[in-house]
Structure 1
Amino acid sequence: MSRTHHPVAVVAGGSAGVGRATVDALLDRGYRVAVLARGQERLDEMAAELGDRIWTEAVDVSDGTLLDQAANRIVAEFGVPEIWVNSAMLTSFSPFDKVDETEFRKITETTYLGTVNGCRAALRIMSRGNIVNVGSGLAYVSVPNQAAYCGAKHAVEGFTQALRIEIRQAGRPITLSMVQLPAVNTPQFDWARNRMDRKPQPAPPIFQPEVAARGILRAIDTDAREMLVGGSVLKLMVGNILAPDVVESRLEDQGVRMQKSDRPTEDGPDNLDGPVRDQAANAHGPYDSRAYDDGLIVDGDLMRKALVFGGAAAILGLGILVGRSTKPANGSSPQQDLNGATAVPSYHRPVEYRS
């Protein structure tokens, strides 16, 4: 008698935000998903909701030894993964001179070294498939008040390129992709450390986490080297190439203000030293009414070729038009891709079932 086999994926940082949206998207594809995160309460909530379709373990990705041990248990108890997504992150909305070495190190160790540790564990247990490192448009253009996070995302970009070359040299059938995300409506804006005089917000335009998850799946589907999500990331990339001085001048004037919401600050715990308790395992943050539920998703290499052969002005103009053509989630309309075709909400790679 044949037995249905569901392929296995791993999402590190999968109990909230983009990671949680990616877990849900992979489950919709027919994968079983191993979810790694620091917060046991949120993992228990997900296990109660999703049952045996997921496997969970509380682990801090900044600890490579513990992450390796978790990877071993995934193989033994759940199966060998075909997909591994590194999505864990920490940040602090603070001027650099207010961030001491310990705080800066924690953000770097989770956001950067957590990705390094995830890649190391994935390469050790995977025989083939896809590894996706979740990046940010801030890997191209940094913003004030998030120096540690921006530095970590720049580091992830450099590390990913070096490792991708080594994987290809070794001839391993594993694709390593980078997905650069825009500002996303996630719970981090309620629980990240904040020293600004208002609660933080994603610097507009804001996108829903499902848009980010679709970008991650598109990278997997196409074995892309890099995927850009949101017209705002496209504009950051082009702006940094053409006029970095102008970009920095604008951020000098507006960069902090763009990260401040109209909500007052609140006393309460943040997630830098550990997960915040009594917070649900949600993908969405507090800005649903202002977030786009659709967005441009394009291959970064194709964009660079278009920049060379099609002209920078045309691409920048496209980014501006994309920004004008979208509507927030409460009245959204589909965007168009570069060929004028309507962008579909998701891209489905058929899941192979084996007996």
Structure 2
Amino acid sequence: MSFLWGVAGAGYQSEGSAPDSNWSRFASGYHDSVDFLHRYPQDIELAADLGVQVFRVCVEWARVQPVAGEWDFDFYDDVIAHVRNAGMRPMITLDHWVYPAWTGGWRNPGMVELWLRNADRVVKRYAGNGTIWITFNEPTVYMAHEIRQGAFSPMMPARMVQAHKRAYRLIHEADPDALVSSNVAYIPVVNRLVDIGFLDWVTDSIDFVGIDYYYDVVPGNLTAVHGASGQLYRIDPEPKGIYRALRHYARRFPKLPLYIVENGMPTDNGHSRADGYTRSDHLRDHVYWMLRAKSEGVNVIGYNYWSLTDNFEWGTYRPRFGLYTVDVETDPALARQPTDAVDTYREIVTGGLAADYRPVR
């Protein structure tokens, strides 16, 4: 399989006009996010123009089943059709931390069956033609958010493991050649302990290890502590950390390929970093270290940039991750403004890094 370059996003974070869900009841200041709900043809075209092969999207359960027993897939039917018509493979996330409010969430003993009923419909509708599947986005962080919302159940980990394993089977019944995973957040220092809560329990039910890498902890750089408060723009990037993360998972799962499902750099409300480190620098440096790991035998099969556009970062628009920036709070037109990294990513996707490139940081 050729190496896959992609972009990533999530339903609630980008769509707008949020239906009734755990997050719509919890978060404030949402507005209509970047209105992917109505601007998806434009955004999909922007992704295709980069030359990427993968477009990651969440089929939001709360949107397709806003009321128990009532289903509506029209929006996602058109989104997936646009992705495929643009020559890209969908990477579909089944659960990116959002569920319909009517379900009662993971405290509900019947949640696994409700979740799988939705998953079964989504899978049978969109399986095949190279679709890649993510069951749960960052399960450990998902659980942390449920604790924050006062909705966590001690049964949530076991129920999610059961749901993942059964979803894995139904995906492969619909499409035996599909790639399925649940992407893990690489969290410095406590990474191994975090993984024990989910990834190690589903090792027999994943086809690749999906990794979200944003930062690491190294001597002399303790800015990663800002990750705990969500102020990711205050963290000094550590590009070589992606190399260490890949080596870490390659040792733990030597038989499984690895995929960087998310990687990107937030800026503070779109402002340039004080140290002059640009989004292009960040992108090239991380790709350099990823390719370094690959050249040393680590089986890395893909990379997704997070994210195509700025979006709602779970309570705030201040961290700006987008290749295209969108000023949700002051620009009613929600214009997609290209950052310096748009051309950089296109160059990487179509021609790779220059042979003599050396990391800025």
Q: TM-score, normalised by structure 2?
A: 0.38
Between Structure 1 and Structure 2, the one with more helix by share is: 1
Q: TM-score, normalised by structure 1?
A: 0.39
Higher RCO, Cα 8 Å, sep 6+: 1
